């Protein structure tokens, strides 16, 4: 999508899978899309890693066969490298590339110490140069994901986002926490309304999005789209539920049987793609969260290593369906 096409895309509310390091691989993205996500984002991809020709870094760009379109999130601090690698990404993905997002919100120390992620909130001029260089280099829409500020005392998201808009930014994602907060405390949802009023480009809300009700609250505050991050863990259903809730004011609950079916499909796709069993232990633990005797089932999944091992956990759980019949998410 180019700039104008992205504006049209966000003319109706969009429910998105957020970029998450170590989580949003192509299987995770494909599950989200199959369950109603409007667009899914890659894990954050190092522009420097791409420039060095890292095969591991480039593998993060590989789309799933089911993905007709995907968003790529890049991070870095050098405008020239960011622009050059944006062109590399565009050439590699072609028509499958929806947009390129720039990570200006990651609070992780190893990212910040390199002047990347949310460290750019302290360098507005450099952030402007990055976006300007990228928009000059490629036709695809360039977006950014930011936080309220590096600290509460230095909150600058309004002026920062307006400046990026002047550089050609097509949309901005806002997480309602500062870098200093990390993921602690509550996200300030009111900042989304303030930013939406200040900009003419779409604002995508992020932070404490777990339910369809959270989505509607952000949309009512002026967001054009909403990111699901931790709220999607073991819960791909939340995308369809959110669309249903925005349309009808209600949404269908998810049965334990449906969760088992989704987990099995996630396992199948992951092993077909050669995804490490260690990651699948984490994913399966998310699917098992909140069910009856959850600790017992999570413990069993932590000892699984093969596809058959993981299937066995959910086969045994399925045998308990009648006993657990009163459970409903």
**Which of these is catalytic: 93, 106, 171, 196?**
106
Terminal Cα distance for the chain, rounded? 37
Together in a domain, 189 and 43? yes
Sign of the Cα torsion 106, 108, 110, 114 reads positive
Please say whether the beta carbons of 35 and 58 come within 8 A: no
Together in a domain, 61 and 9? yes
Residue after which a domain boundary falls, among 248, 267, 298: 248
The Cα–Cα gap between 121 and 174 comes to: 12
pLDDT at 329: 46
pLDDT at 1: 97
Together in a domain, 138 and 281? no
Is 328 contained in some domain?
Answer: no
Using alpha carbons only, what angle is made at residue 68 by residues 65 and 74, rounded to the nearest 5 degrees?
95
Residue after which a domain boundary falls, among 211, 227, 248: 248
Together in a domain, 273 and 146? no
- The secondary element (H helix, E strand) that includes residue 147 is strand 142-147
Is 288 contained in some domain?
Answer: yes
**Which pTM does this prediction carry?**
0.95
- List, for the chain, all residue ranges whose pLDDT scores fall below the cut of 70: 327-329
pLDDT at 14: 98
Is 327 contained in some domain?
Answer: no
Is 329 contained in some domain?
Answer: no
The Cα–Cα gap between 46 and 9 comes to: 27
Is 323 contained in some domain?
Answer: no
Together in a domain, 11 and 41? yes
Is 174 contained in some domain?
Answer: yes
Q: Following DSSP, what letter does each residue of 158-169 receive, concatenated?
A: HHHHHHHHHTT-
Together in a domain, 105 and 166? yes
Known catalytic membership, residue 284: no
Using alpha carbons only, what angle is made at residue 312 by residues 307 and 318, rounded to the nearest 5 degrees?
130
Query: Number of helices (H) and strands (E), helices first, in the chain?
Result: 15, 8
Q: Which residue has the tokens 């028509």?
A: 95
Using alpha carbons only, what angle is made at residue 82 by residues 80 and 84, rounded to the nearest 5 degrees?
65
pLDDT at 312: 96
User: Residue 237 maps to which CATH number?
Assistant: 3.20.20.70
Together in a domain, 192 and 231? yes
Number of domains in the chain: 2
Together in a domain, 194 and 285? no
The Cα–Cα gap between 324 and 314 comes to: 14
Together in a domain, 40 and 154? yes
Is 325 contained in some domain?
Answer: no
Residue after which a domain boundary falls, among 188, 222, 248: 248
Residue 47, C-beta contacts closer than 8 angstroms, at least 6 positions apart = 74, 75, 76, 78, 81, 82, 85, 86
Together in a domain, 305 and 277? yes
Where in the sequence is the domain holding 266, given as residue range(s)? Answer: 256-318
Is 326 contained in some domain?
Answer: no
Phi, psi of 82 (to 5 degrees): -60, -40
Residue 130, C-beta contacts closer than 8 angstroms, at least 6 positions apart = 76, 77, 79, 82, 102, 120
Q: Which residues pair with 100 in a beta bridge?
A: 72, 142
pLDDT at 137: 98
How big is the chain, counted in residues? 329
Together in a domain, 244 and 261? no
Together in a domain, 111 and 163? yes
């Amino acid at each position: 999508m180019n700039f104008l096409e992205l504006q049209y895309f966000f003319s109706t509310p969009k429910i998105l899978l957020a970029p998450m390091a170590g989580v949003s691989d192509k299987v995770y993205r494909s599950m989200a899309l199959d369950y109603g996500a409007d667009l899914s984002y890659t894990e954050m991809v190092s522009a420097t890693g791409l420039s060095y020709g890292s095969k591991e870094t480039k593998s993060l760009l590989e789309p799933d066969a089911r993905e007709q379109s995907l968003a790529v999130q890049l991070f870095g601090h050098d405008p020239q490298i960011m622009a050059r690698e944006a062109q590399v990404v565009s050439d590699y993905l072609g028509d499958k590339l929806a947009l390129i997002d720039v990570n200006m919100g990651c609070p992780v120390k190893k990212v910040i110490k390199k002047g990347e992620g949310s460290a750019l909130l302290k360098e507005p001029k450099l952030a402007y140069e990055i976006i300007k260089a990228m928009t000059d280099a490629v036709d695809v829409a360039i977006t950014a994901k930011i936080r309220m500020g590096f600290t509460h005392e230095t909150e600058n998201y309004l002026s920062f986002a307006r400046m990026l808009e002047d550089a050609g930014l097509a949309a901005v994602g806002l997480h309602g926490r500062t870098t200093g907060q990390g993921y602690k405390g509550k996200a300030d949802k009111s900042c989304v309304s303030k930013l939406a009023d200040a900009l003419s480009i779409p604002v995508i809300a992020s932070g404490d999005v777990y339910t369809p009700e959270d989505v509607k609250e952000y949309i009512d505050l002026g967001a054009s789209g909403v990111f699901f991050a931790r709220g999607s863990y073991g819960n791909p259903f939340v995308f369809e539920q959110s669309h249903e809730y925005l349309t009808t004011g209600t949404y269908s609950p998810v049965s334990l049987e449906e969760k088992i079916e989704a987990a099995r499909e996630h396992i199948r796709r992951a092993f077909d793609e050669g995804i490490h069993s260690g990651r699948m232990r984490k994913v399966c633990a998310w699917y098992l969260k909140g069910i009856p005797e959850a600790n017992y089932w999570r413990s069993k999944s932590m000892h699984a290593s093969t596809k058959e091992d993981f299937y066995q956990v959910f086969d045994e759980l399925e045998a308990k369906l009648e006993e657990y019949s009163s459970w409903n998410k």
